[in-house]
Amino acid sequence: MSNFTAELPASMGYRMPAEWEPHEATWLSWPRREGISFPDAYDEVMPVFVQMVDVLRGSEKVRINVADHDHEHGIRFILKDIDISHVEFFQIPTNEPWCRDHGPIFIVRDKEPRAAVVDWDYNAWGGKYPPYDLDEVVPTKVAEQLKLPVYYPKLILEGGSIDVNGAGTLLTTRSCLLNPNRNANRSQAEIEQALRDYLGVRQIIWLGDGIEGDDTDGHIDDITRFVAPNVVVTALEKDPKDSNYELLQKNLELLQAVRLTDGSALEIIPLPMPPRIEREARRLPASYANFYIANKVVLLPVFGTPTDRKASSILKKCFPGRKIVPIDSRALVWGLGAFHCLTQQQPALEANDK
């Protein structure tokens, strides 16, 4: 077991870095054919996973959680047509592939130990998709492999429910983090204190509801994301008749009222929503906000619609030093997530010296 300390990370100088800060690696939890995330569509989504791993090759290491040797062998076969010299496999079994939500949250500081893991409790988005016993212990198992200390807030939280600017501000939603299916016995004040204590943030921005079709009860990574310390992109629906229109407008109003810790207003960049996408009479949570920022590239889910190009153009202006890589995610979003949901960044410690 990785060592546990009773001291709180923030008091020891730890903070959660922004996603655009340098990475050592991107972590993935590879799906299993018998898993529930891609019903009758495992083979359909495998080309998307291959492309994701391939695109990250020139950017950073890719560390993949696998169930066992047989699972790893199968993945190597799936990846046989690409260079995987940047890929490392870890025998850390998982129930499902959503590493953003069940994986480790890394925190960093300028003295030894320079990195640590926060192991939030996990209950598969309010107990919706049992079993989740394997997923629940992933952060500690990763920390054991990396020989990092672990902190246990004893609070249910998925990584997709928060977004940070690396400078003390965190974004989240009331519909998710205050949902009684997560932490029924914890008040908003207690949850905010835990975020401050374990992630080193000072300001918490609460938005309202998430988009239709999002089974997470409203993860922030489908609606609003930091792209710089004082800049966010936020999803907006242009059709007033669409069920997402009003709730996204309300979130925009909340963002417009925000003042950061230095008193400045947020710069807000609108990000279009793709047209409604359905499968088997169910609306899927397709959103361009579920992009993943790697060292040299940004993985952008696209959906074969005219709005794809506009979303790509917007992100290119936000990240001029990175290549925007649009990847068709119409099959992937059947699992009710995209690239941000699948990934978890491990910070590069060298960045702390700069």
Q: For residue 141, give the amino acid letter.
A: K
The overall average pLDDT reported for the chain is: 96
CA triplet 80, 85, 86: central angle to 5 degrees? 115
Distance CA 201, CA 268 (A): 21
Catalytic residue among 99, 176, 318, 341: 341
Give percent of the chain with pLDDT exceeding 70: 97
Give every strand in the sheet of 105-108, ordered side by side: 105-108, 115-118, 150-151
Residue 5, pLDDT above cutoff 70: no
The encoded tokens of residue 26 equal: 């991107």
Cis amide prior to 113 (ω within 30 degrees): yes
- The predicted-structure confidence for 292-331, as pLDDT tens digits, reads as follows 999 999 999 999 999 999 999 999 999 999 999 999 999 9
pLDDT of residue 2: 46
The reply to whether 341 belongs to the active site is yes
Band (6; pLDDT cuts 50, 70, 90) = low
pLDDT band (50, 70, 90) for residue 353: very low
Model confidence at 1: pLDDT above 70: no
Q: How confident is residue 122, by pLDDT bands cut at 50, 70 and 90?
A: very high
Q: Which domains does the chain have, with CATH numbers?
A: 10-348 (3.75.10.10)
Do 31 and 97 meet the contact criterion of CB atoms below 8 Å apart?
Answer: yes
**What integer pLDDT is reported at residue 320 of this predicted model?**
97
Please give the average per-residue pLDDT across 156-176, as a whole number: 98
Beta bridge partners, 66, equal 91
What is the radius of gyration, based on Cα positions, of the chain?
19
> Phi, psi (5° rounding) for residue 144?
-60, -45
Give per-residue pLDDT as tens, 30-87.
999 999 999 899 999 999 999 999 999 999 999 999 999 999 999 999 999 999 999 9
CB-based burial label for 68 (10 Å; 0-12, 13-18, 19+): exposed
User: In 3-state terms, what secondary structure has residue 306?
Assistant: coil
Average confidence (pLDDT) over 146-169: 98
